[in-house]
Structure 1
Amino acid sequence: MNDAVSKGLQHAETTKVVEVGRGVLPRSGQILNALLLQQASPGLLVADERTWQAAGAQVEQSLREAGAALVEPMVFPGTPTLYAAYEHAEQIRERLREQGAVGIAIGSGTLNDLVKLASGELERPYAVVGTAASMDGYTGFGAPMTRGGLKITMPCPAPTVVIFDLDVAAAAPAPMAASGYGDLSAKIPAGADWILADVTGVDPIDPLAWELVQGGVQEALSRPAELAAGVPEAYDGLCRGLVLSGLAMQVARGTRPASGAEHYFSHLWELDHVGAELDPPLSHGFKVAIGTLAMTAFYEKFLQRDVAGLDLDEVAARWPSWDEVADHIRATMSGPLVDKGLNETKEKYVDADGLRQRLGRLVDSWPQTSARLEGQLLSASELQRMLAEAGAPARPEDIGLTAQAVRETFPRAMYYRSRYTVLDVAREIGWFDSLVEEVFAPGGIWT
């Protein structure tokens, strides 16, 4: 365990044990049995057919060798657990209730989220044995689920124990690591969004959470070609970066350290069922990769503008009323997203006087803030190259979209969440539409 993980665990809300390394799986029984003994409960292994083959059988054997009490494992067929739907969490919850068991997820994103939510609804701890470096949710709280036609993050505690064998991760299908790489790359523009929220006084940066995520993210992203080649050592940085991201969310008591506007593109495309017909369905990290690229390109154009020279009185004078903003949301969103957009955007809306104060902080600090943003961000072309080398999507067509579809997602992403991002700054200044147009002009990364 490295120093950053140890520091994260000292301040994490729920997670007490993290084991990341090569050859960890044979020791998993002893680690997990300590949790089962503490709870005086048997363990219920939850996997699908593929994750059972990858790690589940070995974990079961290790648990039995450790003398652990186990109930019959719950092994889903390959397809149903690939998409996070609340009804699957309900099935697991009822099995846990009937057996009086502690859940042990064997798998990656969806299986972890399902067991996390099922356990959380019963107010029971759980553990996860990761099988792929595919996302940052292993150590995170909350479970993204599709329920009632919306993609929402349902509240539930993070795992108590996380086990991550690098050899198992390296043996997983290559697209899974590429998905994790896409998810980790999101921390670059997400960090920039947090800098803006901090400077404007909307959402102050938590120093420890920032350090956990940003301290090693660029290094963790620095070996994309080796990652694609399945070199286990290259997985160490990626896996630890993903684990640290989840720990940072526990420290900050929120997802701000790990996600910004780039994630809203993914959520919206998931609700549009982009890639749902594929086998396996298009991963969260693949969609996040294109959202990350879109936001990095947007930041490039934003940083070319003269923020320091803004006439704040003029900006405030043309700032629309809430009723005008609400009308635009109704024209932009559809279905259940209309009410969501109204509720989320209302939280971050301020009147003209509030806007003058908010943007005034940005104008006054712009020389220092712009330097921080430039140090935080990668160029869109460099990020595009790295994503491609890792085997992650680097063009909209890689996830079945067009550049125009990405362009049309920008205003919906702006209204999707109450979290303050560069999209909000651009809208408040009055640059949003022109910046989006510049992002998709000939000669950019999309052409």
Structure 2
Amino acid sequence: MDTAPESALQAALPAATDTRVLVTGTDVLDRTGAAFAEAFGAAGSLPVAQLVADGNTWALAGEQVSTALRAAGVELAEPLVLPAVPTVYASYENVERIRSHLGGSDGVAVVIGSGTLNDLVKLASAELDREYLVVATAASMDGYAAYGASITKDGFKITRYCPAPAAIVADMRLLAEAPGRLTATGVGDLIEKIPAGADWMLADALGVEPIAEHVWHLVQDPLRASIAEPEQLAAGDPGAISRLAEGLLMSGVAMQAHQSSRPASGAGHQFSHLWEMEGLGLDWEPPLSHGMKVGLGTISLCALYEVALRRDLTTLDVDAAVAAWPSWQETEAKVRAAELPPEVAEAAVAQCREKYVPAEELRGRLERLRELWPELLPRLRDQLLPAEEIEHKLQVVGAITHPAQIGIDEARFRATYTRSQMIRSRYTLLDVLLETNLLNDCVAELFAPEGFWGRRADQW
């Protein structure tokens, strides 16, 4: 149903486990009814559509989507239009609110919105054992086509399992007209796939988590083109926005195919998740978006990669690294002493326990790293972009590029490099440097006068 025959997205769609109808193109909102019928009308009768939006997204597309659904013979339940101000948060309380509304009839949700609204309806629908359709309103995140929803409950933000939408409608004109800050947050979310790819390469090489070639290409093949035109993205150019949206949607399809966020999320996302767990920007209006924080995390990780890749790991002193490796009891004590929010600390201990390896197992991993480094180093360099290039792209689109812009002082930011490693079991560069006993030295180099953050110290 795409306006571009045999597009990359349509070619990728069979890999998706949940999404079976995808409508993209310019001025395609009037095809929402047809998409709904194709996705949910197989039994010969159409279910009721339960529209969910906020005040802003309803004003953008509510009437047009309603008209398209009625034209296709779809009955509409009373819509749930949440207030646009204060902003709707991705909290479990709001999942419960939406689930209660949807439970009032035996229908299918049609959510009009982007990141937060989509995640809320995704999880609420899953808890009712129902499918849903999303009408995208901004190229602001990769979650449209992704399984799972990032929801905060009891102070801990994690991706909760729930199916991706059965159908997606993405009108590129509508996405191009979205506020620039939403496009900037989409660039921030997507650009992190660059160091995330390098993280996965490390995990693959060290036998922690193998790369699935098909889903790797779904994310990485369109990635460079999707972020290549920051000036055009900032100007709302429909062609550039379309390419950004394709990259974001392809990442979502990849996560469906892999049933994991690994293809699209690395340590840069862990920076963002830590700050979200700490409530950073939650009281802003509008709240500080996920993609803005992820973009800063991307700069941070690319800068760290540059320092790490200057190390000659063929000369790594494995004996010294193993001797310095803490016991699990010492590791647990460090996590508990890291001043994580109390509701986060227990979960962080569990995440670290999952990826902890004893000293002799670590020895084998580090010997493998030392042996593979001559072959791995050029591959990592080819995968990555310079931190300054990432910084420039994000500056052009109006994203966050320095911690001071979001109220993080130097000491807190520096600690993020070690604290963010603790909150996820996912194996990344942070884990490699921790295991080689190089993390503290590499971070210190970043903040030295000639280091990446040292050269930007005047911004604090």
Shorter-chain TM-score bucket reads over 0.9
Instruction: Identify the residue that residue 277 of structure 2 maps to in structure 1.
Output: 271
Instruction: Identify the residue that residue 32 of structure 1 maps to in structure 2.
Output: 36
Query: Structure 2 residue aligned with 1:251, among 246, 249, 257?
Result: 257
Counterpart check, 1:61 vs 2:67: yes
Query: Structure 2 residue aligned with 1:407, among 414, 417, 422?
Result: 414
Counterpart check, 1:423 vs 2:430: yes
Q: Distance in 2 between matches of 1:114 and 1:138?
A: 12
Query: Structure 1 residue aligned with 2:97, among 91, 94, 98?
Result: 91
- Quote how far apart the aligned CAs of 1:248 are: 0.5
Count of residues in correspondence between the two structures: 447
- Give the 3-state SS of the residue equivalent to 2:363 in structure 1: helix
Counterpart check, 1:289 vs 2:295: yes
Counterpart check, 1:357 vs 2:364: yes
In structure 2, give the amino acid aligned to 1:284.
Answer: H
- Give the 3-state SS of the residue equivalent to 2:263 in structure 1: coil
Query: Structure 2 residue aligned with 1:18, among 8, 13, 22?
Result: 22
Q: Distance in 1 between matches of 2:260 and 2:87?
A: 26
Counterpart check, 1:213 vs 2:241: no
Query: Structure 2 residue aligned with 1:344, among 336, 342, 351?
Result: 351
Q: Distance in 1 between matches of 2:346 and 2:382?
A: 37
1:19-418 paired onto structure 2 within 5 Å: 19-38=23-42, 40-79=46-85, 82-334=88-340, 335-418=342-425
In structure 1, give the amino acid aligned to 2:371.
Answer: D
- Quote how far apart the aligned CAs of 1:7 are: 3.5
- Give the 3-state SS of the residue equivalent to 2:13 in structure 1: helix
Please give the per-residue CA displacement for 1:171-219, whole angstroms capped at 9, x wherever unaligned. Answer: 1111000000000011011111000000000000010110000111111
Q: Distance in 2 between matches of 1:22 and 1:93?
A: 32
Q: Is the 8 A contact 2:226 2:244 kept in 1?
A: yes
In structure 1, give the amino acid aligned to 2:16.
Answer: A
Please give the per-residue CA displacement for 1:96-154, whole angstroms capped at 9, x wherever unaligned. Answer: 22211101110000000011001101111111000001110000111111111211221
TM-score for the superposition, normalised by structure 1: 0.97
Q: Is the 8 A contact 2:21 2:39 kept in 1?
A: no
In structure 1, give the amino acid aligned to 2:364.
Answer: Q
Q: Distance in 1 between matches of 2:67 and 2:253?
A: 29
Q: Is the 8 A contact 2:155 2:344 kept in 1?
A: no
Instruction: Identify the residue that residue 5 of structure 1 maps to in structure 2.
Output: 9
Q: Distance in 2 between matches of 1:437 and 1:82?
A: 39
Q: Is the 8 A contact 2:87 2:285 kept in 1?
A: no
In structure 2, give the amino acid aligned to 1:268.
Answer: L
Q: Distance in 2 between matches of 1:209 and 1:7?
A: 13
- Quote how far apart the aligned CAs of 1:69 are: 1.2
Q: Is the 8 A contact 1:82 1:280 kept in 2?
A: no
Q: Distance in 1 between matches of 2:7 and 2:329?
A: 50
Q: Distance in 1 between matches of 2:410 and 2:240?
A: 32
Please give the per-residue CA displacement for 1:363-393, whole angstroms capped at 9, x wherever unaligned. Answer: 1111121111100111111111111011111
Percent identical among aligned pairs is 47
In structure 1, give the amino acid aligned to 2:28.
Answer: V
Q: Is the 8 A contact 2:277 2:344 kept in 1?
A: no
Please give the per-residue CA displacement for 1:226-254, whole angstroms capped at 9, x wherever unaligned. Answer: 10011111111100000000111011110
- Quote how far apart the aligned CAs of 1:314 are: 2.6
In structure 1, give the amino acid aligned to 2:349.
Answer: L
- Quote how far apart the aligned CAs of 1:333 are: 3.8
Q: Distance in 2 between matches of 1:259 and 1:88?
A: 25
- Give the 3-state SS of the residue equivalent to 1:132 in structure 2: coil
Q: Which moved more, 1:413-422 or 1:142-151?
A: 142-151
Q: Distance in 1 between matches of 2:42 and 2:124?
A: 20
Q: Distance in 2 between matches of 1:386 and 1:16?
A: 33
In structure 2, give the amino acid aligned to 1:222.
Answer: A
Q: Which moved more, 1:333-342 or 1:242-251?
A: 333-342
Q: Distance in 2 between matches of 1:183 and 1:252?
A: 19
Please give the per-residue CA displacement for 1:313-358, whole angstroms capped at 9, x wherever unaligned. Answer: 2322222111111111111143122211211111111111111111
Q: Distance in 2 between matches of 1:20 and 1:396?
A: 36
Q: Is the 8 A contact 2:82 2:88 kept in 1?
A: no
- Quote how far apart the aligned CAs of 1:3 are: 4.2
- Give the 3-state SS of the residue equivalent to 1:202 in structure 2: coil
Q: Is the 8 A contact 1:36 1:43 kept in 2?
A: no
Q: Is the 8 A contact 1:82 1:281 kept in 2?
A: no
Q: Is the 8 A contact 1:15 1:161 kept in 2?
A: yes
Please give the per-residue CA displacement for 1:48-86, whole angstroms capped at 9, x wherever unaligned. Answer: 010011112211111111211111111000035531011
Q: Distance in 2 between matches of 1:372 and 1:150?
A: 35
- Quote how far apart the aligned CAs of 1:443 are: 3.2
- Give the 3-state SS of the residue equivalent to 2:170 in structure 1: strand
The runs of 4+ residues in structure 1 deviating greater than 6 Å are none
Q: Is the 8 A contact 1:301 1:438 kept in 2?
A: yes
